Structure 1
């Protein structure tokens, strides 16, 4: 212990020297309220124009010109229409006698692993997250009943693996049962060199000391690239004895079996299939027209059949118990409706949504993490970290991708720049008490940095910036960031971050590199934070007044002071 402490001090002390650059250290989360009316903003139209120009420039080259795809963007603050969409149909689909010949926002694609998000969503709608820390064996007791003692490999610990572990990619179990098993003579083995393809399958005949009874009987592709689904009972019995990759709750490892089990556990809990649960809990409430958790009943004029046929594309591959992991089909419009419902908490409480949009574990790099079904990527923009909650999928001829942002985003750069340079900040300006004798006012502005900056905060003639908050330092900056405490449509809440600009530490420094979260709301008035403010906004999102919550006083924005009374 003494050696460890000495080593840490040796590392720490050289890093504490002065740095030449300074910054205002932001909090994790949005720095501005979500913008409204993006589709009509010139800066947004210009940005999507640049994106489209880039896409079209690449459509002349393979593999893009040989790929049918749809792109759609939506916002929770706008109507039900897509903000932007772009579709491309490759020649094989254009001339196909099956399904659609022209992709649009109602074209039906196989979603592959995006299904995992839908499975988690169904569970949260049906039962919330109150049972997430229970072992999955509470919901699928057969996992314990079927589990056998293993001498040659570590088996999964079903009494330790929780619902949360499965959803967070932390169960530690193998990725799949059967899918890429080289003990089985099938599609995967056909891709191997001759020697391997001859020796590995049919293990007893080739001297490999593994009983043939241990080989997968389903869950893989045959030599004709047809998927052989398992029955429900066979799958549970097989997965019960699936080898482990890690102990539970140790490190993220991707697994389709995780979400197959989540789907099976949900079925047991509700006494219905995931297909019926999805229809009742999501499709009907949202009015979805073309989204299913399993294979559609038929091919329609909206079906996208890539790769030249049903078998080659895997369109008709029924996945059985793997429906909860990769069995869904949907359209751009339907996915946008699902995304809006998630981000707006239309079908689950807001508190559950916030917990769902949380990082649960990092991988080896700080820029990539996992959540409950989410693949999370961190990017940096304008001195602020932005977490992108995404889910991708992969199939024979499909690579779908979903990206959602909630609470971890700042305003899009275009909208943010527009407000700062064009002076159209909806919350900025001098804001005064209706009673001039009260001598209470604040001044809000933006300055190219993070959040709204308060440059004046006077209460009954007392300069709070120069007195109370100056206790942090004479150069303290007082900035407001959204706190999500109000509805966001008629009233937008902000909390204050007040601190002097801090030195940017070296990349090697790991301790308190961004300490602003340590000093949130240090100062209160009658138990309410002095930095808590709530702006009342009109239908266009422009502030009409601001409530200094701790002081129980409402100030009027100058342009509306003559039309509003103090409360």
Structure 2
């Protein structure tokens, strides 16, 4: 090992670092489990049994609002062509038929239509991406909305009193980073809900009818485009653009206008033609479905079923069933209507929030979930969008690491304020550990084993461990040399005590005409004796992303491996790319 020590000394000034144990790159740590693997997994079966017991007990307990609140849930997989449902649950509130003379369905099922509220925004952004992509997202909205272009210079003289529309981009509106007001004349506008006497009794001053800031439209009568902009341009900004996420329904109304300008079509027709019809979402409506298909807990008026948002419809007007929301989620994870790279861009955060485990996307809410079972830094990112309107609540949650998601729709007059996320917490507590276990089970069955090449005197043994992420390389020799020691030493710049290697999927696959595949994995080189540091202000013990491809041999990365898989799904060999040799699986 003397030459190796000399070489390491020469590398000391290079910007390499060694990851603490169990520090995987962002993304899945095992190949995404197939639907068949999920269905047959003992972990998933146990999770489904626990969910069934939990919801059975919940529905018998009126402290949860079960007697007056109906809901539908689906947990689904998008890993193959089959529309696999892993778990479904439908609860019809007893009061739906006992108390209300409903004009809608008498019992909820997978095709029952609910209102979506702000889950509509996912359809809106999906429509934009299918119609126009995201190449314009860094362009100012003033380029496509003349009403905003006309006032783009106002903020130069008075940024406190005027939105800087020239700096508000399409992407800022789509990601809640524009800093504009949440609503105009609708939700939260007190002058729409109380008279002047009531307002004064609450401490507000009377407003003169000639005051330009007093909305002349809103819930009733609704604002047309001219009225909307005349009023909106009187409102002060919440923040300068790109300062912080600040929820804004007005942003999506403006996006609808902009796409109509770009494409010369109505927004509703573009959504129906580019998303709803291609995906066969026959129980999804942009506006006003027939009462007979819906859950209507009360009269159509009092439940909010009948109310239409007019030009603000892209922000929250739509209706759908849980089966259609599941189909929507599957289509996103499968890249059914978008290029895979476009989907990957869409499912990335646009900004952080003040909560360390939360961010926002376009217009996703992003939750960063730490799996303690992985004994380290394993984080699963969940992309969700919730909604609430009238007597209805909704949630779509995507888990791209597994190509799995779940859909929740709720309807009732007394929905607990956070019921959609409360149900998500119940599902996630059982589902996330089970998904990770199922993925590991499939990876172990597929990749674990011994590999060798007698000519090169090279061997490799791959396993998985329930308390560690990724494939473990327990043994790796090349020409009789311990390559685990060499790799960890070269990257870590010191003599390791307990060198080990973990392999993680890269998402790079070559599929041939005969069905065989070449699948790439990336390795992290670790020393199990390298202890994790306590929380520090700037330093980190999990900078794996910095060290990827840090060591190469003849331009080929030492940390890249490619598995050959035959048409029957069996692994036949693995190639350490830098060593130019294929080790056959025994």
Q: Secondary structure at the match of 2:369?
A: strand
- Residue by residue, what CA displacement relative to the aligned partner does 1:341-400 show, whole Å, maximum 9, x if unpaired? 111111111111111111221111211111110111112113312211111111121110
1:234 positional shift: 2.4
**In the alignment, which residue of structure 1 is the partner of 2:246?**
253
Q: Secondary structure at the match of 1:376?
A: strand
Consecutive unaligned residues of structure 1, counting only runs of 5 or more, are 1-21, 206-210, 223-227, 559-567
**Is the contact made by 2:184 and 2:218 (CA closer than 8 Å) also made in structure 1?**
yes
- Residue by residue, what CA displacement relative to the aligned partner does 1:224-247 show, whole Å, maximum 9, x if unpaired? xxxx43223322333333321100
Q: Secondary structure at the match of 2:285?
A: coil
1:131 positional shift: 0.8
- Structure 2 CA distance, aligned partners of 1:260 and 1:466? 59
1:129 positional shift: 1.1
- Structure 1 CA distance, aligned partners of 2:231 and 2:580? 63
Distance 1:423 1:145, change over 3 A: closer
Q: Secondary structure at the match of 2:116?
A: strand
Consecutive unaligned residues of structure 2, counting only runs of 5 or more, are 1-19, 405-430
Give the TM-score normalised by the residue count of structure 1: 0.84
1:420 positional shift: 6.0
User: What is the total number of aligned residue pairs between the two structures?
Assistant: 518
- Structure 2 CA distance, aligned partners of 1:454 and 1:365? 36
Q: 2:503 aligns with which of 473, 480, 490?
A: 480
**In the alignment, which residue of structure 2 is the partner of 1:31?**
29
**In the alignment, which residue of structure 1 is the partner of 2:428?**
none
Q: Secondary structure at the match of 2:484?
A: coil
Deviates more, 1:486-495 or 1:522-531: 486-495
- Work out whether 1:216 is the aligned partner of 2:206: no
**In the alignment, which residue of structure 2 is the partner of 1:327?**
317
Distance 1:343 1:243, change over 3 A: same
**In the alignment, which residue of structure 2 is the partner of 1:524?**
552
**Is the contact made by 1:146 and 1:241 (CA closer than 8 Å) also made in structure 2?**
no
Q: 1:413 aligns with which of 405, 429, 433?
A: 433
**In the alignment, which residue of structure 2 is the partner of 1:403?**
397
**In the alignment, which residue of structure 2 is the partner of 1:44?**
44
RMSD (CA atoms): 2.9
**In the alignment, which residue of structure 2 is the partner of 1:274?**
267
Give the TM-score normalised by the residue count of structure 2: 0.81
- Structure 2 CA distance, aligned partners of 1:139 and 1:304? 38
1:432 positional shift: 2.5
Distance 1:109 1:552, change over 3 A: farther
**Is the contact made by 1:290 and 1:330 (CA closer than 8 Å) also made in structure 2?**
yes
**In the alignment, which residue of structure 2 is the partner of 1:449?**
468
Distance 1:234 1:458, change over 3 A: same
**In the alignment, which residue of structure 2 is the partner of 1:141?**
146
1:169 positional shift: 1.0
- Structure 2 CA distance, aligned partners of 1:422 and 1:80? 20
- Work out whether 1:350 is the aligned partner of 2:343: no
Q: Secondary structure at the match of 2:524?
A: strand
**In the alignment, which residue of structure 1 is the partner of 2:451?**
431
**In the alignment, which residue of structure 1 is the partner of 2:104?**
99
1:441 positional shift: 2.9
Deviates more, 1:518-527 or 1:459-468: 459-468
Distance 1:101 1:540, change over 3 A: farther
**Is the contact made by 1:497 and 1:521 (CA closer than 8 Å) also made in structure 2?**
no
Q: Secondary structure at the match of 1:315?
A: coil
Distance 1:443 1:136, change over 3 A: same
**Is the contact made by 1:115 and 1:328 (CA closer than 8 Å) also made in structure 2?**
yes
- Structure 2 CA distance, aligned partners of 1:320 and 1:401? 23
1:538 positional shift: 5.6
Q: Secondary structure at the match of 2:582?
A: strand
